Structure 1
Amino acid sequence: MRRTLLLMSTAVAMMASVAVYGQNDAKAKAILDQVSKKYRSYDVVKSDFTFTMDNPQSKTRESQQGTLYVRAKTNKYRIEMTSQHLISDGKSQWTYLKDDKEVQIVEADQSADALNPAKMFTIYERGFKYTYTGESKSAGKVYQTIDLAPIDTKKAYFKIRLSIDKVAKRIANVLIFDKNGNKYNYNIKTFVPNVKVPESTFTFDAKKYPGVEVVDLR
């Protein structure tokens, strides 16, 4: 599942650009503007999610549960999954591989179009064209669907589909389609805004993990 977290940190989830807006569906823009405005009013958000990867070539499916803490205003996040954690304080990024007892450290990507877990709920705001494709109902809720297409056609993925809770005005599901036929699905189970967490949530303290090997790639 190492690839899972790397995908989230470099290709997903998850950057405002008015110039891009002009190329897009007006209804989709209005919906996404509402989502962005509400999300950006929060401090730290906690979200439990289910991640599923479908590989049609090997006919396999991988699934894990995860928890995400994110402070989008400062590009800080912590994502915990069964086999590994991905943590960033906005300057450095730690990838902790549980089974290998190893943590890899790299510099956090500070570029404007960097995609990482901190931007899971604002992934659409830069570098995409988007189209509103309709509504659906599930478990008594109404979801609005918007498809994103990366402007940079060299990306490893060609489409991201967002399902947005119409009433709550937040992203409920992110489905990524890559060019190899794989599908990566992030289903948001819970969304708790303004959760109180210590600042240490967004750093990795090797002292708390006896025997862990630190690989500093900065």
Structure 2
Amino acid sequence: MNNMNFYKRPLIAALVFWFAAFSTGFAQDTKAKTLLDQVSAKVKSYDNMFIDFKYGLSNDAAGINQETRGDVTLDGDKYKLNLMGTTQMYDGKKLYTIVPEDEEITISTQDPGDDDAITPSKMLTFFNKGYSYKWDIEQNVSGRKIQYIKLTPIDSNSELKSALLGVDVQTKHIYRLIMTQKNGSKITITVNSFKTNQPLPGNLFVFDEAKYGDYYINRLD
């Protein structure tokens, strides 16, 4: 079903890795560590964040070349993620996955402290270990200096071969993540816009069941 596909890798894994890079505490390359620490400090200073991004998946051998867009609003543990026609919202206690195409909603309890839970609210700190990294190429993108850091999983069984994390040197915001998997797939996430400390509606993370009278609601607990 579509709502189950919403959770599956490589898409969600890519997003987790992408946001996780904001506060990763790697310890191999001094220059890379300094830059990542600056990114982490900048992000932690924000009350909330809104990120609009482009997601691309390609695999030449399989003839795959897809692009889509999404956006996520993060406010502490709470979040609202819109992606591939599906909305995933966490209000601090319950996780709601709303799939208009199927007219279905899944509601479950989620523990933010669960190490196995893959959530946008944990994307800032999820991958705090398990990767080696080093200073990589620099690019000029429309006058912006983008410095890339190459990350390689320490676990040889990881599906990920390597990743390139591009950081805007001036703003200390992540601009792009390029993930290369061992199966030949390449995932690219590019930030279209990054807004912080926005006035958020009081009901942004509130689920209003009355709005979905025709939907099937699947309560998992």
Question: TM-score when scaled to structure 1?
Answer: 0.83
Equivalent positions of 1:60-71 (< 5 A) are: 60-71=64-75
Q: What secondary structure sits across from 1:30 in the alignment?
A: helix
Do the aligned residues in 2 keep the contact of 1:5 with 1:86 (CA within 8 Å)?
no
Query: Which residue of 1 is the match for residue 171 of structure 2?
Result: 168
- Aligned pair in 2 of structure 1 residues 17, 178: CA closer, same or farther (>3 Å)? closer
Equivalent positions of 1:168-187 (< 5 A) are: 168-187=171-190
Query: Which residue of 2 is the match for residue 96 of structure 1?
Result: 98
- Aligned pair in 2 of structure 1 residues 17, 194: CA closer, same or farther (>3 Å)? closer
Q: What secondary structure sits across from 1:202 in the alignment?
A: coil
Query: Which residue of 1 is the match for residue 36 of structure 2?
Result: 32
1:58 lines up with 2:62 in the alignment = yes
The amino acid of 1:45's aligned partner reads: M
Deviation track 1:35-81 (CA, whole Å, cap 9, x = no partner) reads: 0000000011111111111133431222212121012xx32211113
Q: Offset of 1:102 from its aligned partner?
A: 1.2
1:14 lines up with 2:19 in the alignment = yes
Cα separation, 1, equivalents of 2:127 and 2:170: 19
Do the aligned residues in 2 keep the contact of 1:121 with 1:171 (CA within 8 Å)?
no
Cα separation, 1, equivalents of 2:63 and 2:90: 33
Identical counterparts, % of pairs: 29
Equivalent positions of 1:1-218 (< 5 A) are: 3=5, 6-7=8-9, 9=12, 12=16, 13-14=18-19, 21-22=26-27, 24-71=28-75, 74-108=76-110, 110-112=113-115, 115-120=118-123, 125-218=128-221
CA RMSD of aligned residues (A): 2.6
- Aligned pair in 2 of structure 1 residues 53, 90: CA closer, same or farther (>3 Å)? farther
Q: What secondary structure sits across from 1:201 in the alignment?
A: coil
Cα separation, 2, equivalents of 1:121 and 1:36: 8
* Residue segments in structure 1 that go unaligned for 5+ positions in a row: none
User: Displaced runs of 4+ in structure 1, greater than 6 A?
Assistant: none
Q: Offset of 1:182 from its aligned partner?
A: 1.7
Cα separation, 2, equivalents of 1:184 and 1:209: 34
- Aligned pair in 2 of structure 1 residues 139, 62: CA closer, same or farther (>3 Å)? same
The amino acid of 1:110's aligned partner reads: G
Q: Offset of 1:112 from its aligned partner?
A: 4.9
- Number of residue pairs matched by the alignment: 213
Deviation track 1:104-150 (CA, whole Å, cap 9, x = no partner) reads: 23343523575432355556544322221131111111101012223
